[in-house]
Structure 1
């Protein structure tokens, strides 16, 4: 049904014909007080056909004067409606006199314009509906354009935020590969290149606008951590604790990577003994609670918010979450016990539907 009304040309003819058919029906129902001979019904139908034909030129006239100034536009509409109403009045009177009155001729020509005011009201109503519907269509089209532009800007913003996160990791990994090559650790370097290739392939394949399941996100972060384990060897320990209940929960793609990268940078790389990273996810009412914690040196406290100086990607994460969820999320950074940092993210529990790719 919507396809019928999406075509403006078809939509006009449907409304135009339906409106005059309605006029005939209303006139017929309101004429029960008259002599209801079949010939009177014929007069009503002929009047409707005449109105249908006479208002068609108005459509093309109104198209030409559409850009007139408001006063000129209203004046032109009134004049055109009145002239068409006069012609229609004459035709209606002729139908009535020639068909219903069997050739009655009035004494004076002025009688041909009898009831022209009533005809003017009907034609003017047609004109008003035409302009009203036309303006409504124009406003709806502008609204769709604004929404489309807003959506495109929103998507571009999200893509920009997501792709700002990857260069940090890429720079660190390439530096590590370069170092391995210099010290003749070719097998290890080859292993890192292979895993880096898999990681980047996933990163490029996944649209940052869309979401992935938490299970997929954990898998790609495991791949990322495998790369980092090549760099840090026994200095990096990782513990995953993902509740199976939330494995199909949808999360922004590459959400955890900058958090883990921060832990690598500040908890693992900064300590000769290395450290541990804990990644957990659980159901929390109607939400999903995700935590990334480490046992590094900790954080500074500034106006009740916890942050790491020059932390990678944290502002971007908040902006992505704000863009995707509005106010229906939380992002907190706190001290881990006994040492380190704990990042806690709460998101709406939106589960992937079976058989449908997100």
Structure 2
């Protein structure tokens, strides 16, 4: 299993790196083309302010094309020099930029002389020096833009990988929290079935096994990360309660009052089962007469409000203290909601009247249509 996970993780990482590389490569060529095209266009617009021959546009275009070609090797040189000490890297940038500018100035002057009949002459060394210096500033600016964009892309890549790592951790946390609940419930159910078999209640035990298989199938078919409608959640809850009814017989009464609008709401799968399990273990099992579990849900002000109440006799004076003392059920539910909704939820305990406890959950109202 660990080798499979390592292979999957490595494959995902390679795909991420490949995607980032393709994105950066494509971005370079797009920006390179647009940048030098813009350089030629700006110079041409500037030339319109003076009386220039039409052939001057061709000269500008060839000059921009020369700059386009000469800066391509710089990209690969900078990639190989990326790990150098900053001072040494700066020296490499300055020297290569000046060398590139010098070659560009020679090409530019040759182009001016051959096409425009105006360029380098032995008596115009000052003009050549000015042209070379101007092109050095242009290449240096190109280098600065290259490093700035590359640093930005690296930052975005690291941020993307951090978000992906956070998402994987988030998914793993949700799965861990959800799957911690199933073994607890399974142990209780199998223990009850074992008891039924020992007392020769084979038909009842068989019905309980069938109910349990349906419930576990539902649990396995639903991803703990994904949300389901409250109606499906209630269907799964009734499977669980049917199992418990086999144990309690007539001592368990279920009341459900859920509006049609609330039934369409999306909630985390198996959200209510651990809460019901706690209610049965700590409240219904201690009721001498009939234990009543009531579930109500409605939508108000864009929020789904779910209330689950029991009539247990030993409700604490401070119900909120149950979050620390009632085992993994309540804590896991709270952590799942926190992982899914951040601060946009409410999960609290309050006394029921005349006795018992109520659990209240308030979530953002989501449906398959508006999520």
Query: TM-score band, normalised by the shorter chain?
Result: over 0.9
Shift of residue 167, structure 1, vs aligned partner: 1.7
Cα deviations across residues 35-65 of structure 1 (Å, max 9, x unaligned)? 4212222211121121111111111111110
* Segment of structure 1 superposing worse, 168-177 or 100-109: 100-109
Runs (5+) with no aligned partner, structure 1: none
**Equivalence for 1:229:** 245
- For residues 5 and 21 of structure 1, the distance between their equivalents in structure 2, rounded to whole angstroms, comes to 24
- For residues 328 and 103 of structure 1, the distance between their equivalents in structure 2, rounded to whole angstroms, comes to 70
- For residues 204 and 192 of structure 2, the distance between their equivalents in structure 1, rounded to whole angstroms, comes to 10
Cα deviations across residues 110-143 of structure 1 (Å, max 9, x unaligned)? 7544421111111111111111111111111100
Runs (5+) with no aligned partner, structure 2: 1-18
The answer to whether the Cα contact below 8 Å between 1:293 and 1:342 also exists between their aligned partners in 2 is yes
**Equivalence for 2:194:** 178
Match of 2:285 among 269, 276, 291: 269
- For residues 152 and 252 of structure 2, the distance between their equivalents in structure 1, rounded to whole angstroms, comes to 63
1:113-192 aligned within 5 A: 113-192=129-208
The answer to whether the Cα contact below 8 Å between 1:298 and 1:336 also exists between their aligned partners in 2 is no
RMSD over aligned CA atoms reads 2.2
Shift of residue 312, structure 1, vs aligned partner: 5.2
- For residues 282 and 31 of structure 2, the distance between their equivalents in structure 1, rounded to whole angstroms, comes to 69
- For residues 121 and 242 of structure 2, the distance between their equivalents in structure 1, rounded to whole angstroms, comes to 101
Match of 2:43 among 3, 23, 27: 27
The answer to whether the Cα contact below 8 Å between 2:252 and 2:290 also exists between their aligned partners in 1 is yes
SS of 1:301's equivalent in the other structure is coil
Q: How many residues align?
A: 352
- For residues 306 and 104 of structure 1, the distance between their equivalents in structure 2, rounded to whole angstroms, comes to 88
Cα deviations across residues 215-250 of structure 1 (Å, max 9, x unaligned)? 011111011100100111011111111111211011
**1:49 and 2:56 matched:** no
Q: 1:238 to 1:63 in 2, by over 3 A?
A: same
The answer to whether the Cα contact below 8 Å between 2:20 and 2:157 also exists between their aligned partners in 1 is no
1:258-337 aligned within 5 A: 258-302=274-318, 305-307=320-322, 309-311=325-327, 313-337=329-353
The answer to whether the Cα contact below 8 Å between 2:109 and 2:119 also exists between their aligned partners in 1 is no
Cα deviations across residues 323-346 of structure 1 (Å, max 9, x unaligned)? 111111111111111111111111
Q: Structure 2-normalised TM-score?
A: 0.89
* Segment of structure 1 superposing worse, 107-116 or 94-103: 107-116
* Segment of structure 1 superposing worse, 198-207 or 292-301: 292-301
Match of 1:58 among 62, 69, 74: 74
Q: Structure 1-normalised TM-score?
A: 0.92
Cα deviations across residues 280-337 of structure 1 (Å, max 9, x unaligned)? 11122211111111111132234x7342843550111111111111111111111111
Match of 1:105 among 121, 132, 138: 121
Q: 1:293 to 1:112 in 2, by over 3 A?
A: same
- For residues 188 and 76 of structure 1, the distance between their equivalents in structure 2, rounded to whole angstroms, comes to 83
Q: 1:103 to 1:196 in 2, by over 3 A?
A: closer
The answer to whether the Cα contact below 8 Å between 2:311 and 2:356 also exists between their aligned partners in 1 is yes
Cα deviations across residues 8-49 of structure 1 (Å, max 9, x unaligned)? 323222211221111111111111244421222221112112
The answer to whether the Cα contact below 8 Å between 1:258 and 1:314 also exists between their aligned partners in 2 is yes
Shift of residue 102, structure 1, vs aligned partner: 6.5
* Segment of structure 1 superposing worse, 306-315 or 207-216: 306-315
SS of 2:275's equivalent in the other structure is helix
Match of 2:112 among 96, 107, 112: 96
Shift of residue 5, structure 1, vs aligned partner: 10
- For residues 150 and 52 of structure 1, the distance between their equivalents in structure 2, rounded to whole angstroms, comes to 40
